[in-house]
Amino acid sequence: MIEDLQVKVVPYTKTEDNKILQQIIKSLPYKQGPSNIRAHATDWDILFDYPQVQSLLNFVNDQIRNNLLRSYSIEKDDISCPEVWGVNYNKGDQTTAHSHSPSLFSFVYYVNVPDKSSPLHFNYSKETIEPQEGDCVIFDAALTHSVPVCECDDRCVVSGNFVWNKKGTGTY
């Protein structure tokens, strides 16, 4: 069951920002270097300056602090998001199986979801989450996941990682 895997799907109410977010992601340069993402992906830290992204991060932070930290022995003030990136998938693009360890939680926010958009697949449980525009999927970062080959253009997401700040140092 998805609930047993520490996965939460919550609607984000600021969907009016989606067109702006997609334009931002598509206009930024591709991430350089090897990656499990086989699509147009931004660098890990380039989106922090955009107010639309800050609103989303505040929302995800609140969801984690208020709903998901109960099963962890971590204080609410001891988490932060050091990495956030955007991905625009076109036909034939995919993301191969990976996890985000040592991060604590990861998220995927669906900015644009055309027909035939690929799901988020959790590899070991074989569970999938069908994307819906405006949904935010928050999950345990240790879960191996992937995005199968996309059969459409312009599937767009914002993703990120939240970490535990050991002793409030801001590092993990």
Could you report the per-residue pLDDT of 114-153, keeping only the tens digit for each? 999 999 999 999 999 999 999 999 999 999 999 999 999 9
| 172 lies in some domain | no
**Distances from the Cα of 6 to the Cα of 54, 105, 118, 168, angstroms:** 24, 9, 21, 24
Position 114 scores a pLDDT of 98
Residue 78 lies in a domain: yes
Flag whether 171 is in a domain. Answer: no
Q: For residue range 25-65, what is the model confidence (pLDDT) as tens digits?
A: 999 988 766 689 999 999 999 899 999 999 999 999 999 98
The domain tally of the chain equals: 1
For the chain, the average pLDDT equals: 88
Give residue 73's pLDDT.
67
Residue 14 lies in a domain: yes
Per the structure, the complete domain to which residue 38 belongs is given by 2-165
Is 170 part of any domain?
no
Look at residue 31 and tell me if it is in a domain: yes
CB 81 within 8 A of CB 57: yes
d(CA 169, CA 172): 8
Q: What share of the chain has pLDDT > 90, as a percent?
A: 70
Could you tell me if residue 45 is inside a domain? yes
Residue 127 located in a structural domain = yes
Beta-strand runs (E) in the chain? 7-11, 37-38, 40-41, 79-89, 94-98, 105-112, 120-122, 127-129, 135-140, 145-147, 155-164
Would you place residue 6 in the very low, low, confident or very high pLDDT band (cuts 50, 70, 90)?
A: confident
The CATH code of the domain that includes 112 is: 2.60.120.620
